[in-house]
Structure formats: C-alpha cells, structure tokens
Chains A and B, each alone.
Chain A
C-alpha cells in the first residue's frame, strides 16, 4: 500500500495577493475556484492579470470554475524545496474543464497513482487566516 499524499502543514511560504489577484484568493476562502473571463472576446485569463491574455482588454469579469479537470503534467518531488515542505509531494498542472491551467499539489491520492489525463477536482485547505490554498484530489 503506497503512501497517501497529504496537504502541506502551516509554516510553508504563503502567497501574497496583489490588487488584481485578491478576488481569486477571496474565492478560495469560500470554496470557489475563480477565474477571469474577457467580456469582449470571451477568452479566459489565468493566472489572474490586469488584462485579457488573448486581446489585452481590461474588461474582465470573475467566474467560478466547476473545479473539475484533468492532469496535464506532473512530477513527484522527493527533495523538498525547503525544509518547510514534507516529501513526497506531487506538483501537477491541471487543465480545468473550462480550459485554463492551474499549478497546485495533488492530495488524497496514493503517491504512485498519478498519470497524465487523471480526472481531478479542487479541494481547499486553510493554511492561515488570510490564505486558503486550492489543491487537487482524484475524482471518485
């Protein structure tokens, strides 16, 4: 039985939101994975930005993702970035069903079970009063 991947514990370095990313982090605190959609061309922008990454319009509005997607690429890390991180952990780039990428860690999954194309969903873990992190876990 291989080890089940867990979220990291408090003590890891945490994100510092910006003026234009704050709504994303606010969403995580209420269990929503938010992304920006351009009201002019319809394209999605992610990571959060002040302008559309397809047409550079500033006319962006926030939407809520289903949080469902599939693993686009992955790596199992055995040498921690700093001692604050517990190994092994798995970094994944996930293609959300809406069509944007998000980088996060995979949890609630055996360490050797990840593969490209694996169906996953978001799960949120509170790391501090200000920051709740999105992680991904396999869809049952």
Chain B
C-alpha cells in the first residue's frame, strides 16, 4: 500500500493571541507577533528551528524579523490551504519545520459600514448593496425554498455554537449567554433569513501553528496531531458574481455543495467516512452553513440537514458536536482568514484533549472546514491522533 502523503508530517504547536472586539494598542503585525511568541512557547522551539514560514503576504516580513532565512515560504491564503501547503512542503523535503501565522487588528474601523473584507468591489454586485450576510442569505433562502428548512433550525445551530462560546473563557463573547433558539429569532433581522445572532461577529486577533516532521515531533512536548486528509473546492472568486446554489459547469457539480468533493478526497486520503468523525470543527460564518455542510460532506442526505442538526445531535455530548469553541459567532472573527485557521487550532486542541471547555471525550478524528457556498469555496481538513 502506498504511504499516506502526510505520513511524515505532524502538527506540534498551536496558539491563539488574545482576541477582542477591538485590541487597543495593536496592529496586525504586533498581534501576529504575540501569537508567534505563544506558539514558540507551546513547542519550546526558537526562530532558528523554523525553516519555513507560511503567513500569506506576511511570510517575507516574518522571515526578515526572525532572521531565519534562507527559509521556505508560502503566499497561499492563510487558512486551510496554507496548512496543506506547509504539510506538502515538509512531506516533499523542501523544509522540516513550518511556522503558520496570521493576525488582523486595526483594519475594521468604519463601523457604520459592514467589514471591508466582506464587500469587495465588483461591477456586477457593487451597486446592489451586497456583503457577506446577503451573499450567504441567497444560498440559505434557496435551500429553504427547495427543502423547507426553517428559521428555527437555523436558530438551533446558532444557539448551539453561541453556547459553546458562552462557556469558553477565552471567547470574545464569553458569558454572553446562554442562548435558546428563541433568543436567536428575537434578535433583529440583518438579511433574511439571518437574524443578527445567526451571523458571525467581527473582532481582532491572531493565531499560529507549527508543523514539523513526524520524527522531530517525537522530541517535542505536545502530543502530535496528524493530517489524515485535506482538499479544497472553489467555484470562483468570493462576492463578485451571483452566489447561486446551482452554479455549475458541465460536470454538474454545484456550488450549493461546495466542499463535497474536497470532503470525498479527504475521506479517501484517510480511508475514513463521516461516521468516523468525533468532532466537527466546521466553519460557521452563518448558521445555515452548518446545515449545508452536513449535507455536502455526506453526513446526511440532501435536504435533510435541517432535521439532522435537531435533537441535540450537534451539541455537547451529541453524536457530532460542532464548532466547540464558539467559532466565528462567539469565539472570534479576526478578519478575512484568522478565524479560518482557528478551526484547525480547535481541532488540534480537541485531539490533544486539552480543551478547557466542550472537550469531546477521547476524540480521535476531527473534521475542520473553511469558507462556504456564499463565498463560492469550501476547504476541508481531517485531523487524527494516529499516524496515517
């Protein structure tokens, strides 16, 4: 049997900086440095142990500041794709230890408007008042029309995730709950079907990870976490064209189920299926996205996601606990990408067994995701406690 492509790669370090609605006295560089210092402390490594930097456009600056050149670097989007890029670089011997880092602060200051990263200008959407909530609403509304998915089902997702954040001492919205689905439905409407509490928040923060070889991981303090699978689905640029559920080419594979093919590839890589997943660290920009992902990844049939998430299945102690730190709704949403890396960080915490709250007992396999159909992409990673 062929060796697994990430057989010799391990995630050995994770860290979040402090997270807040506004981080006074910080900009994106200083808050990223805080996360980098914390992840080095988590592993006991120094900058001179790092020979690869994966921080998107900040890769070059970090290498310059750390004086760890000559170093491998990645300019991928600092989310799941950059972790897969780093793992591939290690697996192919281009480097042995990669620092992944990203942070965002001081970017969203004009609060009368929606966040700048949610509304890129494009000639076919710019004049119609579009931003992320409206883009994702057009996806959700179509699903509700096709399958009868209800506001109450959406609200159940939001209440579940917000309660995870309510319990988490490091979440930006720690202590804001607990929430019932009725509380979600009572919040003001932003973009139908999404009430305010169906939506991600905006905040500031940074995070970092360190990946290294399986061999080097044995000498480091943390329980290594392995990459069992990962892949990415894109249907085009985010927020520039109509986000139609049925957007598809001749293949018939449709944007409504973006992530399905990435999940299939990831499961195949790890020789796993949905029932092997112990914890679902799914990306939660809007409540409906969780329902969509359970359908897209094959946890349930098309159109059944709304029923699937009811009856406690996705809550603490349920069969498939979701987004256990509170996600973008309650833990943090630092900008365009920080919170996407944080899904993987939480997956690693779950598999290390070190979650302060909402720890899934004896979690062996975590599924992490980024993106969403309103943004025309979904990226998927499967993490595990055992070497693949």
Q: Which residues of A contact B (CB under 8 A)?
A: 8, 12-18, 21, 25, 47, 53-54, 72-83, 85, 89, 91, 93, 101-105, 116, 127, 131, 133
30 A-B residue pairs with Cβ-Cβ distance under 8 Å, sorted by A, are: A12-B127, A13-B127, A15-B127, A18-B123, A54-B249, A54-B250, A73-B141, A73-B245, A74-B138, A74-B141, A74-B192, A75-B134, A75-B138, A75-B191, A78-B189, A81-B114, A81-B119, A81-B129, A81-B130, A81-B134, A85-B129, A89-B128, A89-B129, A91-B129, A91-B134, A93-B242, A93-B243, A101-B244, A102-B242, A103-B241
Q: How far is the CA of A73 from the CA of B193 in the complex (A)?
A: 11
With A54-B250, A77-B134, A81-B113 already in contact, the answer to whether A127 and B142 are too (CB < 8 A) is: no
Does B1 belong to the interface (CB within 8 Å)? no
In the assembled complex, the CB of B108 is this many whole angstroms from the nearest CB of chain A, namely: 13
Does B133 belong to the interface (CB within 8 Å)? yes
A73 adjacent to B123 (CB under 8 Å): no
Does B3 belong to the interface (CB within 8 Å)? no
In the assembled complex, the CB of B95 is this many whole angstroms from the nearest CB of chain A, namely: 37
Q: How far is the CA of A75 from the CA of B132 in the complex (A)?
A: 12
Residues from chain B with a CB closer than 8 A to the CB of A53 are 249
In the assembled complex, the CB of B254 is this many whole angstroms from the nearest CB of chain A, namely: 13
B113 adjacent to A83 (CB under 8 Å): yes
Residues from chain A with a CB closer than 8 A to the CB of B193 are 75
In the assembled complex, the CB of B315 is this many whole angstroms from the nearest CB of chain A, namely: 28
With A8-B129, A15-B123, A91-B130 already in contact, the answer to whether A77 and B138 are too (CB < 8 A) is: no
In the assembled complex, the CB of A52 is this many whole angstroms from the nearest CB of chain B, namely: 11
In the assembled complex, the CB of B329 is this many whole angstroms from the nearest CB of chain A, namely: 16
Q: Which of A54, A93, A102, A131 has the most CB of B within 10 A?
A: A93
A83 adjacent to B112 (CB under 8 Å): yes
B130 adjacent to A73 (CB under 8 Å): no
Residues from chain B with a CB closer than 8 A to the CB of A75 are 134, 137-138, 141, 191-193
Does B294 belong to the interface (CB within 8 Å)? no
